[in-house]
């Protein structure tokens, strides 16, 4: 019982009785004739670290700006905490946003920047001072309080921007590419910091990112967007293991995509004849029409070297190693299986590199289990 309660708290979207904190209801935003956001419906729950993931121009930033009130939807409604905020201007919404450029006021000191939002609420001077110093302490930028933004490094600016948005104690924090302006090393540590911060203060975060690794690391759930639409909303694990669309599978991590047609439904499995001439068998509960075109997605780390290769073997494929990418812990092998197709296989480097099993030009047979791939129809 205790276990079930806990699970409900961690994954409120699994609970049919949970009230979404943000509800986006059939929202469309058109710029001239272009659909930036196309009929999006989405629920985000209290305490979530929710990521909107997609390539640039997919509409993720517009969706965020719609939540902030910086854009008005062409159609649809937006609710925050049960209240219809569709027509509420940005300055009245109980929401704060951290801009990609940070948008720090260049003519104000760090302290004044952080205090800016508080001055808009009628807080006493003392209360404001307390909150500012709390925020500066929280983000460890106390010693920068008298500096102007142009005297700060990228990482310091990010902290100031975060302090400024958090100072107002918003219920919902929107972050537009929060780590985009940081260099790679800084970004990785900042990811963990951001997650820790969110867990500590317990407010709902919605971030926009184009970096799938960042989304995977930080999020409770990810919404993958393409061309103004949300394709899939799920936990990072589900997005990775069970993508529902070719686009999603392709966008997140490395994947081998086999085109083919359904030959047979066999209980909880489906048999597919692939275009490279091999038969694939995968676990899939949906009944597929015979001859229907499908795509099979198999992650490179799910492949292994096949000791028992057969000419008509199922879930087996043979080719020549064309390329090896040595990443230290693992190596990625690119295997030419047909003139038109390369298959990628990741192997853990158990042995030192000099004693590796495979080398360039070597013929290799690979196999996988029916449960380690997904059948995609779209």
Partner 1 sequence: MHKLLAKLRLRDRHLARLVNIGAPYLWLGLFFLLPFAIVLHISLAETALAQPPYTSLWEWVDDGILQIRLNLQNFSTVFHDELYLAAFLNSLGVALVGTVLCLLIGYPMAYAIATAPERWRVVLLMLIILPFWTSFLIRVYAWISILKPNGLLNHLLMGLGVIDAPLTLLHTQTAIYIGVVYSYLPFMILPLYANLTRLDFSLLEAAADLGCRPFKAFLKVTLPLSLPGLVAGSMLVFIPVVGEFVIPDLLGGPDNLMIGNMLWTEFFGNKDWPLAAALTLSLLGLLVAPFVLMQRLERRIEGEPS
Give residue 42's Cα distance to chain centre.
Answer: 15
Count of residues near partner 1 by CB under 8 A: 29
Burial pattern 266-289, b for ≥16 Cβ within 10 A else e, equals eeebbbbebebebbbbbebeeebe
The correct pick among 35, 79, 99, 309 for binding partner 1 (CB under 8 A) is 99
C-alpha to C-alpha distance for 114 and 50, rounded to whole angstroms: 25
**Least Å from the CB of residue 186 to partner 1:** 22
C-alpha to C-alpha distance for 57 and 218, rounded to whole angstroms: 22
Are 95 and 80 spatial neighbours (Cβ–Cβ below 8 Å)? yes
- Select the span of 86-94, 128-136, 213-221, 277-285 touching partner 1 (CB under 8 A): 86-94
Nearest to partner 1 of 26, 146 (CB atom): 146
Nearest to partner 1 of 90, 186 (CB atom): 90
Nearest to 49 by CA among 181, 168, 217: 217
Collect all residues with Cβ–Cβ distance below 8 Å to 38 and sequence separation of at least 6: 28, 59, 227, 228, 229
Q: Does 97 bind partner 1 (CB under 8 A)?
A: yes
**Least Å from the CB of residue 101 to partner 1:** 6
Are 168 and 118 spatial neighbours (Cβ–Cβ below 8 Å)? yes
- Select the span of 91-99, 179-187, 271-279, 295-303 touching partner 1 (CB under 8 A): 91-99
The three-class DSSP label of residue 180 is coil
Q: What's the DSSP call for residue 291?
A: T
Nearest to partner 1 of 106, 267 (CB atom): 106
The three-class DSSP label of residue 107 is coil
Tell me the torsion sign for CA atoms 311, 292, 250, 266.
negative
Return the residues of window 121-180 that contact partner 1 according to CB under 8 A.
121, 146-148, 151, 164-165, 168
- Select the span of 83-91, 214-222, 319-327, 339-347 touching partner 1 (CB under 8 A): 83-91
Are 45 and 204 spatial neighbours (Cβ–Cβ below 8 Å)? yes
Structure tokens, 263: 């030959």
φ/ψ of residue 121, rounded to 5: -85, 150
Q: Does 6 bind partner 1 (CB under 8 A)?
A: no
The correct pick among 24, 53, 64, 68 for binding partner 1 (CB under 8 A) is 68
The correct pick among 89, 154, 277, 293 for binding partner 1 (CB under 8 A) is 89
Q: Give the count of alpha carbons within 13 A of 228, CB side only.
A: 14
Q: Does 36 bind partner 1 (CB under 8 A)?
A: no
Nearest to partner 1 of 163, 233 (CB atom): 163
Nearest to partner 1 of 168, 187 (CB atom): 168
Q: Does 207 bind partner 1 (CB under 8 A)?
A: no
Structure tokens, 200: 């500590």
The correct pick among 55, 120, 359, 371 for binding partner 1 (CB under 8 A) is 120
The sheet that has 83-84: what strands, in order across it? Answer: 34-44, 22-31, 75-80, 83-84
The correct pick among 12, 59, 117, 373 for binding partner 1 (CB under 8 A) is 117
The correct pick among 96, 207, 219, 315 for binding partner 1 (CB under 8 A) is 96
Nearest to partner 1 of 92, 362 (CB atom): 92
The correct pick among 41, 92, 362, 369 for binding partner 1 (CB under 8 A) is 92
Q: Does 106 bind partner 1 (CB under 8 A)?
A: yes
- Select the span of 106-114, 200-208, 333-341, 361-369 touching partner 1 (CB under 8 A): 106-114
Q: Does 91 bind partner 1 (CB under 8 A)?
A: yes
φ/ψ of residue 349, rounded to 5: -85, 85
C-alpha to C-alpha distance for 366 and 343, rounded to whole angstroms: 10
Residues at the site binding partner 1, with contacts judged by CB under 8 A: 68-70, 89-92, 95-97, 99, 101, 103-107, 109, 116-117, 120-121, 146-148, 151, 164-165, 168
């Amino acid at each position: 019982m205790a276990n079930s309660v806990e699970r409900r708290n961690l994954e409120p979207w699994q609970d049919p009785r949970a009230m979404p904190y943000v509800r986006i209801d059939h929202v469309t935003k058109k710029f001239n004739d272009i659909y930036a956001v196309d009929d999006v419906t989405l629920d985000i729950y209290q305490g979530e670290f929710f990521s909107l993931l997609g390539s640039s121009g997919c509409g993720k930033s517009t969706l965020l700006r719609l939540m902030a009130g910086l854009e008005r939807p062409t159609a649809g409604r937006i609710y925050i905490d049960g209240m219809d905020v569709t027509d509420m201007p940005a300055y009245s919404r109980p929401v704060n946003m951290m801009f990609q450029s940070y948008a720090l006021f260049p003519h104000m000191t760090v302290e004044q920047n952080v205090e800016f939002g508080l001055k808009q609420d009628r807080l006493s001077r003392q209360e404001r001072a307390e909150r500012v110093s709390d925020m500066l302490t929280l983000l460890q930028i106390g010693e920068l309080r008298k500096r102007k933004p142009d005297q700060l490094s990228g990482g310091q600016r990010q902290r100031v921007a975060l302090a400024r948005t958090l100072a107002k104690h918003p219920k919902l924090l929107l972050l537009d590419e929060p780590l985009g302006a940081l260099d790679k090393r800084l970004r990785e540590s900042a990811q963990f910091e951001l997650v820790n911060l969110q867990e500590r203060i317990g407010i709902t975060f919605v971030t926009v990112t184009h970096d799938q690794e960042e989304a995977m690391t930080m999020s409770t759930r990810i919404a993958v967007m393409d061309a103004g639409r949300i394709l899939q909303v799920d936990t990072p694990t589900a997005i990775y293991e069970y993508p529902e669309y070719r686009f999603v599978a392709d966008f997140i991590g490395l994947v081998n995509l086999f085109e083919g047609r359904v030959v047979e439904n066999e209980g909880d499995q489906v048999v597919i004849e692939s275009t490279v001439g091999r038969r694939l068998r995968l676990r899939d509960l949906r009944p597929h029409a015979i001859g229907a075109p499908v795509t099979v997605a198999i992650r490179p780390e799910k492949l292994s070297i096949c000791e028992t290769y057969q000419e008509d073997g199922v879930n087996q494929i043979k080719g020549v190693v064309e390329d090896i990418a040595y990443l230290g812990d693992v190596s990625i092998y690119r295997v030419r299986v047909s003139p038109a197709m390369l298959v990628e296989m990741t192997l853990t480097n158990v042995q030192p590199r000099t004693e590796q099993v495979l080398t360039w030009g070597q013929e290799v047979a690979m196999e996988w289990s029916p449960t380690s791939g997904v059948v995609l129809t779209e």
